[in-house]
Amino acid sequence: MPTVKLLSYTRMDADHLAETPIVHGAGTLQENLIEYAGRICYRSDAKMGHNPTFIDLRVREGHEDIIEHVRFVFRVEGQPLDRELLMLISLPTVEFSDLGDDAWIISLNARNVRDFWRSSNSDLAAELARLSGPITPAVFRDLPLAGEEVSS
């Protein structure tokens, strides 16, 4: 099983945060960013933070482009260049660096993580989703992570 470490994820500059409607969301900062993107799309930004299931509903409807606003950077060790890794790094917007000795730096967005998890039954896919879940719980709530049951 590869060793996966979350190195970084989308954050906002604290100096500019107070100036944005994102602070009115009810979730994590990253979920608020996703919600705001969706609210702009649906022209409902005045309702920001009033519906805690907004992201869940959009994801369930298949409107997953809004979750692309949050990115994660992982260091993966002990992962050879195999079919699973090739599947991951060929997803749109996934960036990677080969560090040698089966070690990689991989940058991808929340939609990439979901897509890889759905298309792969690998330990790598499960670990990427497990580590991303606490950052954006609403994005991954419907996935059974680490043996959990899917919430309804």
Q: For 62-96, what is each residue's pLDDT tens digit?
A: 899 999 999 999 999 999 999 999 999 999 999 99
User: What average pLDDT does this structure show over 10-34?
Assistant: 85
* Sole residue written with tokens 């649906």: 42
Position 58, amino acid:
R
Which two tokens mark 49? 């933070």
Torsion sign, CA atoms 126, 131, 134, 140? negative
How many Cβ atoms from other residues are within 10 Å of residue 64's Cβ?
16
Whether pLDDT at 150 is above 80: no
Torsion sign, CA atoms 45, 50, 56, 61? negative
User: What average pLDDT does this structure show over 53-63?
Assistant: 90
More confident residue, 26 or 93: 93
Which two tokens mark 44? 């409902």
How many Cβ atoms from other residues are within 10 Å of residue 147's Cβ?
6
Instruction: Find which of 21-35, 37-51, 93-107 is predicted with most confidence, using mean pLDDT.
Output: 93-107
Which two tokens mark 67? 């979750």
Candidate from 5-14, 76-85, 99-108 with smallest mean pLDDT:
5-14
Please report the DSSP string for 23-42 in residue order.
GG-SS-HHHHHHHHHHHHHH
Taking the model in full, what pTM does it have?
Answer: 0.88
Whether pLDDT at 146 is above 50: no
